[in-house]
């Protein structure tokens, strides 16, 4: 029998299970303890698991991410929470110049088995300093694994294999997903953190996306299906290393592709994916590659402007429709 829960509860259960299963695992970050987390993911965990395992930190991302890196190098398995990915820039030196490079610079003498969780994305009127999607920036950095769980199932089961990875793993949780409910099928106890997932099969156009844009993309595919256009929806899930094989197999079937990315278009993850398709599957294409990305502005506070800035189901459907049934 399947289990129904929210994305928030899936994240909480994953953390709780990890801490109980391994004495080396602990969680630390701003407001994760007594307050229960900015998005209530860790509510009640400090009372149950204690202050040693669920640690509140000072408001200094560079300091506590650095402490997490040191703990990982010393044999612990820290889960470090950064409240929003905008604030991760305050720890970018630690993430890029230490976590990602120490295993290489030490010739493999030191591993950094660190998991860094952070909220990403817009849609909750949190304005420009709390709403951007910066996972594409981190996907540029060798030495990191970048995960973007979109489903409740992935939110529940991606943490365990991330903790087992000897290298740093960054998990981006979209803020609009925490309240979402979903089913975890009976018997599912693990997920793959190396492969993309086909969320809806199709034959006419491939829609590539991840994270908070997945459900907008599935809605767009439903609209297209009513018009006789069968879109295949690929949830990338793993942003570094990208699963090129699944992407190219889908493009080879449909011969058309739209990339949906909540990041800005210039220098984006969508640009990287498009170039890989050109390099590996150019002659499979029957139409130009299209991208639906966030408008190149700081995310507005006003609700109508915020929504206008973001990819939406109707703009995704329009881009796909134009490839399958071009005007004229």
Q: Which residues lie across from 235 on neighbouring strands?
A: 197, 209
- 2 is written with which tokens? 């399947």
Question: Which entry of 30, 61, 81, 153 is annotated as an active-site residue?
Answer: 61
Report CA-CA distances (Å) from 167 to 17, 37, 65, 77, 111.
Answer: 21, 25, 15, 11, 6
Cα–Cα distance, 293 to 216 (Å, whole number): 12
Question: Which entry of 130, 135, 153, 232 is annotated as an active-site residue?
Answer: 130
Give 169-232 as a DSSP string.
EEEEEEGGGTT-EEEE-TT-----SSS-EEEE--SSEEEEE-GGGHHHHHHHHHHHHHTT--EE
279 is catalytic: no
Cα–Cα distance, 276 to 58 (Å, whole number): 42
173 is catalytic: no
Are 113 and 77 spatial neighbours (Cβ–Cβ below 8 Å)?
yes
How does DSSP classify residue 91?
G
CA 130 to chain centre: 16
Are 115 and 162 spatial neighbours (Cβ–Cβ below 8 Å)?
yes
Tell me the catalytic residues: 61, 130
């Amino acid at each position: 029998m399947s289990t129904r829960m929210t994305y928030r509860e899936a994240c909480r259960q994953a953390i709780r299970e990890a801490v109980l299963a391994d004495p080396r695992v602990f969680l630390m970050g701003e407001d994760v303890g007594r307050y229960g987390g900015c998005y209530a993911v860790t509510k009640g965990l400090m009372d149950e698991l204690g202050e040693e395992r669920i640690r509140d930190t000072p408001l200094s991302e560079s300091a506590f991410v650095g402490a997490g890196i040191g703990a990982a190098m010393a044999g612990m398995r820290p889960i470090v929470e950064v409240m929003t990915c905008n604030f991760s820039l305050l720890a970018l030196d630690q993430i890029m110049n230490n976590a990602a490079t120490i295993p290489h610079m030490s010739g493999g003498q030191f591993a950094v088995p660190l998991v860094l969780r952070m909220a990403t994305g817009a849609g909750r009127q949190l304005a420009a300093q709390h709403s951007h999607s910066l996972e594409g920036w981190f996907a540029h950095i060798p030495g990191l694994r970048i995960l973007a769980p979109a489903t409740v199932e992935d939110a529940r089961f991606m943490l365990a294999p991330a903790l087992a990875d000897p290298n740093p793993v960054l998990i981006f949780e979209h803020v609009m997903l925490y309240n979402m409910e979903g089913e975890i099928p009976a018997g599912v106890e693990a997920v793959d953190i190396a492969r993309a997932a086909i969320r809806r099969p199709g034959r006419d156009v491939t829609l590539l996306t991840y994270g908070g844009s997945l459900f907008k993309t599935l809605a767009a595919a439903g609209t297209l299906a009513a018009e006789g256009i069968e879109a295949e929806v690929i949830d990338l899930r793993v942003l570094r290393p990208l699963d090129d094989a699944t992407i190219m197999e889908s493009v080879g079937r449909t011969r058309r592709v739209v990339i949906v990315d909540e990041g800005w278009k210039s220098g984006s993850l969508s640009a990287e994916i498009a170039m890989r398709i050109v390099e590996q599957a150019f002659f499979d294409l029957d139409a130009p590659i299209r991208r639906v990305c966030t408008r190149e502005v700081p995310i507005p506070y006003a609700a109508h402007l915020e929504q206008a800035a973001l990819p939406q189901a109707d703009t995704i459907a329009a881009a796909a429709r134009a490839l399958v049934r071009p005007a004229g």
